[in-house]
Amino acid sequence: MDEPGKPERPEKAGTPGRTGKREWQTRTKHDRADSATRADLLTAARRVFERNGYARTTVAGITAEAGVGRATFYVYFASKEEVFAVLAEGVRARFLASQELDGIDAEDPYAVARETVTAFLDAYTENLAFITVLQHQSLSDPAMSALWEEIHGLPRRRSARYTQRLVDRGLADPAASPEAVAQAAGGMVAAFARGLAAAPGDRARAARELTAMYVRLLGLPER
């Protein structure tokens, strides 16, 4: 920028757009820095929520964990409620992504059962500590209650629809209604995830046993 009172200097001939390019590069650099700082705040906030629970978490605790000032926090988030909601949405996205299975034969119910159970188990185990906080908060927060219902309700409904399609094709004879089978499978995964939190080395065994039980619940023929 020119000094006050002096006329603006025209851009040199033959160099159109140089100023705009420098501004774009500077803005891009700032955007990347902003993204990194926001990500650091989210990571720190998640640790504090998981360690202290929702009620005892404060903005001061989050900024201390992240090693930044309160002013930096408020550049990105309006409150601890907002940062918690962003984290909860991330968990929702992780659960939905776990049900998008690529690279398997969709016509092979045994492969679908194995991959679905394993992916859901991984998503639950990775997010178990935060899910515990989210479940508790959902008891008093209608928005979080709706989000929690979405997190475990969408996979359950998708699983029930898949089971019904197997029944319609004559490929399965489930032990109960498709909805009940889906609910039971979700409960088993949650229980095994809590066990894996204490013994993460048991993942392969847990996935194998969960798949075997799910196949029995679906009523698929023995292979």
User: Is residue 31 one of the residues assigned to a domain?
Assistant: yes
CATH assignment at residue 127: 1.10.357.10
User: Is residue 39 one of the residues assigned to a domain?
Assistant: yes
121, 211 contact by CB (below 8 A): no
Distances (CA, A) of 15 to 21, 25, 166: 11, 16, 66
User: Is residue 12 one of the residues assigned to a domain?
Assistant: no
CATH assignment at residue 62: 1.10.10.60
Q: Let me know whether 113 and 212 are in one domain.
A: yes
pLDDT beyond 70 at 83: yes
User: Is residue 6 one of the residues assigned to a domain?
Assistant: no
Q: Let me know whether 46 and 124 are in one domain.
A: no
Distance separating alpha carbons of residues 89 and 84, to the nearest angstrom? 9
Phi-psi group of 67: left, alpha or beta (phi > 0 → left; psi -120 to 50 → alpha; rest → beta): left
Q: Let me know whether 47 and 157 are in one domain.
A: no
User: Is residue 13 one of the residues assigned to a domain?
Assistant: no
User: Is residue 159 one of the residues assigned to a domain?
Assistant: yes
Q: Let me know whether 57 and 96 are in one domain.
A: no
Tokens of 128: 């178990």
Distance separating alpha carbons of residues 223 and 220, to the nearest angstrom? 9
Residues sharing a CB contact under 8 Å with residue 15, sequence separation 6 or more, in sequence order:
none
217, 174 contact by CB (below 8 A): yes
Domain count, the chain: 2
pLDDT tens digits, residue range 7-53? 444 444 444 445 555 554 444 444 544 689 999 999 999 999 999 99
pLDDT beyond 60 at 2: no
* Chosen domain end from 60, 77, 94: 77
pTM over 0.85: no
Q: Let me know whether 24 and 100 are in one domain.
A: no
Q: Residue 66: how many CB atoms within 10 A of its CB?
A: 19
Distance separating alpha carbons of residues 157 and 178, to the nearest angstrom? 9
Q: Let me know whether 148 and 209 are in one domain.
A: yes
Domain span holding position 97? 82-218
pLDDT tens digits, residue range 110-158? 999 999 999 999 999 999 999 999 999 999 999 999 989 888 888 899 9
**pLDDT at position 223, please?**
76
Q: Residue 206: how many CB atoms within 10 A of its CB?
A: 23
